Amino acid sequence: MVAIYARQSVFKEDSLSIETQIEKCKLYVENGEKFEVYQDAGYSGKNTSRPAFETMLLNIER
């Protein structure tokens, strides 16, 4: 299983959209390989206190 994580802060003037980030990551997923997408919109990259990011980490630990 592959985890795809995308984040975009509120200040997104010149950053890739979450949708574009996810599509670019999917290009690296091997044919038929399962993946789960996690995304946080409106969160800064300065810390890791982001709901989808924390959920992804919990799922990886399992």
CATH architecture of the region 2-61: 3-Layer(aba) Sandwich (3.40)
The three-class DSSP label of residue 36 is: strand
Give the pLDDT score at 49: 94
Q: What's the confidence (pLDDT) of residue 15?
A: 80
Of the candidates 9, 3, 1, 4, the residue with the CA atom closest to the CA atom of residue 45: 9
Q: Would you kindly state where each structural domain of the chain is located, as residue ranges?
A: 2-61
d(CA 44, CA 58): 20
pLDDT (0 to 100) of residue 12 = 65
Bridge partners of 12, per DSSP, are: none
Question: Alpha-carbon distance 12 to 35, whole Å?
Answer: 26
Q: Per mean pLDDT, which of 12-16, 29-33, 41-45 is the most reliable? A: 29-33
